[in-house]
Chains A and B, each alone.
Chain A
């Protein structure tokens, strides 16, 4: 596609439920990133994929968070047993390669509200 696409754009879920957030990166981009942006806070790095591998999972806040990428394309971020503090915008981004000279393109985000 022309840009990074994320779905759903908005999700309201009950505490304790599982949610899946989807990201379609720009076609051909090998690097894919997930960030969390909570109200009044900066972008928080969650996980990075190079191809289908996740060499850096250091930002995942707990074992309730997991992510996968298949076909060097679509990625899914899964949050199990959601908690109210998980409420945030989850941003996906991609770049052609992971090096710092490669522009990162962000999706519009998935706004998650846990009630």
Chain B
């Protein structure tokens, strides 16, 4: 069974701090996606990474796909209260969206 483990499970930080959250697996994925889910909302896609070692930046968010395509990280610089939410990673190696493997998420709270 393929699993995606996310860590930490919970993170509470002050505005302006930096943080990194992780998504790890023993399985290789052809692509990996990061989503953010706010309370009462569905997940929203942030980024898809497909190449081992790939780094993508989205404003203050930096996403990295591991060289072996088994793990990924999300780094947020100078976190803001608007970054608060549940960050989910999802891996795909079947070429079809219905086969996404989802992590349990990291719940981030950024305090003003």
- Does any Cβ of A come within 8 Å of B30's Cβ? yes
- Cβ-defined partner of A45 (8 Å) among B40, B95, B100, B104: B100
B1 on the A face (CB < 8 A): no
Contact with B along A88-112 (1 / 0, CB 8 A): 0001010100111011111111000
Is B112 interfacial (CB 8 A cutoff)? no
Contact B45 A104 (CB under 8 A): yes
Size category of the A interface is 20 to 34
Partner of A108, one of B41, B90, B94, B105: B41
A31 touches B (CB below 8 Å): yes
Cβ proximity bits B8-47 to A, threshold 8 Å, 1 near / 0 not: 0000000000000000000000110000000011111100
> Is A4 a contact of B42 with CB atoms below 8 Å?
yes
Q: In the complex, what distance in Å separates the CA atom of A35 from the CA atom of B41?
A: 13
A103 to B95, CA, bound (A): 13
Q: Is the CB of A33 within 8 A of B43?
A: no
Which residues of A lie under 8 Å from residue B41 when comparing CB positions?
Answer: 106, 108-109
Assess whether B88 is interfacial by the CB under 8 Å rule.
yes
| In the bound complex, CA of A102 to CA of B104 (Å) | 22
Q: Contact between B30 and A100 (Cβ–Cβ < 8 Å)? A: yes
Asked if A108 contacts B96 (CB within 8 A), the reply is no
Is B98's beta carbon under 8 Å from chain A?
yes
In the bound complex, what is the Cα–Cα distance between A40 and B10 (angstroms)? 11
Whether A12 is near chain B, meaning CB under 8 Å from some CB there, is no
Contact A108 B104 (CB under 8 A): no
CB distance from A95 to the nearest CB of B (A): 6
Also in contact, A98 and B96, with CB within 8 A (given A4-B42, A91-B42, A93-B42): yes
